[in-house]
Amino acid sequence: MGQELAKGIALSTAWAVDDMDSWSELTSRLIVDDAVDLVGELSHIIGQMAKALGLIEGQNCTPEQVLQQLALDAESSPEG
């Protein structure tokens, strides 16, 4: 999982700072198959992060709640 997490952090950081050139280069190097592979990798990373947040926060925050909040945030984003 460490390698996937490192990929996710690199991709997320480039995306968060709006550095699309770096993000595009990273995706072409880290995700070698196709866009579906990228989606699968990111989904796996998000699922692992949701589980980790659920463990950190305890009973008041389940992985499902984290994923629901992510979905709500994505729906309300200006790009969404």
pLDDT at 68: 87
* Buried b / exposed e along 37-70 (16+ C-beta atoms within 10 A): ebeebbeebbeebbeebbeeeeeeeebeebbeee
Residue pLDDT, tens place only, 22-65: 888 887 877 765 667 667 777 888 888 888 888 888 888 888 88
Total number of domains constituting the chain: 1
Tokens of 25: 């280069």
pTM, full prediction: 0.52
63 with 44: CB under 8 angstroms?
A: no
Count the Cβ atoms, other than its own, within 10 Å of residue 74: 10
Task: Give the domain range for residue 59.
Answer: 2-76
Question: What DSSP element (H or E) covers 25?
Answer: helix 20-30
